[in-house]
């Protein structure tokens, strides 16, 4: 499904967001396990990732109706929008649930960062297999 882009205005890309990819090849086609990007306030982590070729699974198109965009926020959680009750209910269905689990489509950059998150290796396998 295509990512539904938010109509929120995005601030200038000045918030440092580091993505740590447990399966970089599956997500980006490259072996580099770390990507440091600049995001803007109002932008979701899923939007930022997809804009830079990090293909986090997002079966519902980013509308909080699945749990395939599950990530772990290792740093900078207070620079992100708080989880809504709908997100909390949804993320509980995700495999590998941890205290720092979030749905990347629901994490909107609000603060100055820096933000560091981990994309689990099984993320891409939740719905589809990447062709070999
Ligand atoms: S893409 Fe479905 S909940 Fe985030």
Q: Is residue 5 part of a domain?
A: no
Could you tell me which residue, 123 or 93, shows the higher pLDDT? Answer: 93
Longest dimension (CA), the chain: 39
Given this model, what pLDDT does residue 121 score? Answer: 86
Determine the pLDDT at residue 2.
72
CA atoms 23, 116, 72, 103: torsion sign: negative
Q: What percent of the chain has pLDDT over 90?
A: 81
Ligand 1 centroid from CA 114, angstroms: 23
The reported pLDDT for the residue numbered 7 is: 77
CA-61 nearest atom, ligand 1: 1
Residue 126 has pLDDT above 60, yes or no: no
Segment 10-34 shows an average pLDDT of: 95
* Those residues with Cβ within 8 angstroms of residue 53's Cβ, 6 or more apart along the chain or in another chain: 28, 29
The answer as to whether 127 is a domain residue is no
Q: How far apart are CA 47 and CA 25, in angstroms?
A: 19
The CA 80 to ligand 1 mean position distance, Å, reads: 16
| CATH number of the domain to which 100 belongs | 3.10.20.30
Distance (Å) from CA 65 to ligand 1 centroid: 6
> What number is the average pLDDT over the span 89-106?
94
Give a yes or no: residue 55 inside a domain: yes
> Element (H or E) spanning 26, and its range?
helix 24-28
DSSP string, 50-112: HHTT-----TTSSSSS-STTEEEEEE-GGGBPPPPHHHHHHHTTSTT--TTEEEGGG-BB-S-
For residue 3, is it within any domain? no
**Which H or E run includes 24?**
helix 24-28
Whether the predicted pLDDT of 48 surpasses 50: yes
Residue 23 maps to a domain: yes
User: Would you say residue 57 lies in a domain?
Assistant: yes
Q: Which pLDDT does position 124 carry in this prediction?
A: 58
- pTM, entire model: 0.91
Q: Give the range of the structural domain holding residue 114, as residue numbers without chain letter.
A: 15-122
Q: What is the mean pLDDT of the chain?
A: 91
Spatial separation of the C-alpha atoms in residues 24 and 43, rounded to whole Å = 22
The Cβ of residue 14 has, within 10 Å, a number of other Cβ atoms equal to 11
> Is a pLDDT exceeding 70 seen at residue 129?
no
- Residue 64 located in a structural domain: yes
Domain count, the chain: 1
Is 1 a domain residue? no
Answer yes or no: is pLDDT of 1 > 70: no
């Amino acid at each position: 499904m295509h990512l539904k882009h938010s109509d929120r205005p995005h601030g200038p890309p000045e918030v440092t967001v580091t993505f740590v990819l447990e399966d970089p090849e599956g997500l980006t086609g490259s072996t580099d396990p770390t990507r440091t990007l600049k995001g803007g306030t109002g932008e979701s982590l899923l939007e930022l990732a997809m804009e830079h070729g990090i293909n986090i699974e997002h079966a519902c198109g980013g509308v909080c109706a699945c749990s395939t965009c599950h990530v772990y926020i290792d740093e900078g959680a207070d620079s992100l929008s708080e989880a809504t009750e709908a997100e909390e209910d949804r993320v509980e269905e995700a495999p590998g649930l941890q205290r720092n689990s979030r749905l990347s489509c629901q994490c909107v950059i609000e603060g100055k960062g820096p933000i560091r998150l981990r994309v689990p290796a099984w993320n891409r396998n939740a719905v589809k297999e990447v062709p070999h």
